[in-house]
Structure 1
């Protein structure tokens, strides 16, 4: 258990948890910060592939002033246990909400986390109050063939964690250490590269999971965010999200990559 500075915020605490997965085969490291007493609306933060919940270190303190904030490490990444059989990231998110007794929550997802948030919203619309999709990917989206995608496929086939980490930083963190949090991003990618190979091997796509043609069914307030230095395909996906999700609002962040 960890606590925040009680002099500055006497009514706010941060607690760490090991959340059992829905299939009982593992534990997800999670942290609850802020107003978990029912006075703050719940927000769940979902990180991207190859990273972990440290991604939100600079965001949580401010959010926790007004919200019940939960973040967790996806299966096999960060401090969560590695999978040894097929699992669903949508089911894992459901397990996190259930563990904390949350009937509904707002979801904030970066990249892979945005994809999970969209899939979860379509599968469980009654449990989502709002979406913030940051540089989000979308299940069902067909990515164009490129040298990058070929290099990723080779790295996965050869199980080269070092190559995968190098690709991750070159493609998705093009601004390097000049970007805010650049050093932390490098550290997360390096420490999770080997774990990611195992996690991706066991992560399964749910039957019928294909969000892109069903975006018009999303009926919660949605914010779509991407950086102006992000991958061009992420910008294309962001435009699609804003166009197809009813009432969605888009924002482009200057001087920002993925």
Structure 2
């Protein structure tokens, strides 16, 4: 049954295992009360990415975070699946007609694709260091090596390249140890998951950004990969009414690097 999140009583955080559309289970956690917000992490990560912002966010919102298919505590993918359909399954499981979506990197891409496919179900978007389906990345030696490692399922090289490309601030920056732990623990899971992840029909969001109707906040870290800043600018220009913020002292792992500033921005933006 679809319900309004305001009907929920105040309950402590609780974990659930959500049946995935094509088999398996998605690990999820729900905490807090208020208008619903769903957090989507990036590739090679899991829901621990949000550890530093969930407690404060849950004081004001009904917060749901989940591990994408095959990552973290969700079961491995055994056949083709859609990340957009997985997100819909999460909303349906919790009985939510609409929710705000907060997505980082791959999670931002999934949130955008979902907003284009199901605009009536998205109350707001917050895109953090987001990628966009259809975007052509420039050639560079490090990105070429990264793509090769993913294609060849070379998890050792992938785990080495991940922080070199995306964690410019290094291990000593806030959240550095957790970043390394997530990357190492998800390296093998990631290549299996990506092998089975298929794009839904029409997954080419970049030329359709003008169709986004949800209020949108675009955030990226000052020390993120340079192409992320290019994408962020494109998002702000092409999504009607979108606002952009650059956070100093943050790279791609922004929720771990600058959690207080990110939480402040989210609380100001989310309905």
Where on the TM-score scale, by shorter chain, does this alignment land: which range? Answer: over 0.9
1:177 to 163, 171, 175: 171
Equivalent in the alignment of 2:24: 26
Alignment of 1:1-258 (within 5 A): 11-23=10-22, 25-35=23-33, 40-258=34-252
Runs ≥4 residues deviating over 4 A: none
Task: Give a deviation string over 1:76-120, Cα, whole Å, max 9, x none.
Answer: 000000001000000000000000000000000000000000000
Please report the TM-score for the alignment, with normalisation by the length of structure 2.
0.88
Equivalent-residue separation in structure 2 for 1:11 and 1:68 (angstroms): 10
The alignment yields a C-alpha RMSD, in angstroms, of 1.1
Please state how far the C-alpha of 1:255 moved relative to its aligned partner: 1.1
Task: Give a deviation string over 1:167-195, Cα, whole Å, max 9, x none.
Answer: 11110001112322111111000000000
Secondary structure of the 1:81 match is coil
Equivalent-residue separation in structure 1 for 2:175 and 2:147 (angstroms): 28
Secondary structure of the 1:13 match is coil
Task: Give a deviation string over 1:217-248, Cα, whole Å, max 9, x none.
Answer: 11111100001111110000000000000110
Q: In structure 1, list runs of 5 or more residues that go unmatched.
A: 1-9
Please state how far the C-alpha of 1:152 moved relative to its aligned partner: 1.6
Secondary structure of the 1:118 match is helix
Secondary structure of the 2:125 match is strand
Equivalent-residue separation in structure 2 for 1:12 and 1:173 (angstroms): 35
Equivalent-residue separation in structure 1 for 2:11 and 2:78 (angstroms): 36
Equivalent-residue separation in structure 2 for 1:80 and 1:65 (angstroms): 26
Equivalent-residue separation in structure 2 for 1:136 and 1:99 (angstroms): 26
Q: In structure 2, list runs of 5 or more residues that go unmatched.
A: 1-8, 253-271
Secondary structure of the 2:219 match is strand
Please state how far the C-alpha of 1:207 moved relative to its aligned partner: 1.7
Secondary structure of the 2:108 match is helix
Please report the TM-score for the alignment, with normalisation by the length of structure 1.
0.93
Please state how far the C-alpha of 1:12 moved relative to its aligned partner: 4.1
Bigger helix share: 2
If asked which structure has higher relative contact order (CA below 8 Å, sep 6+), I would say: 2
Please state how far the C-alpha of 1:148 moved relative to its aligned partner: 1.8
Equivalent in the alignment of 2:266: none
Secondary structure of the 1:93 match is helix
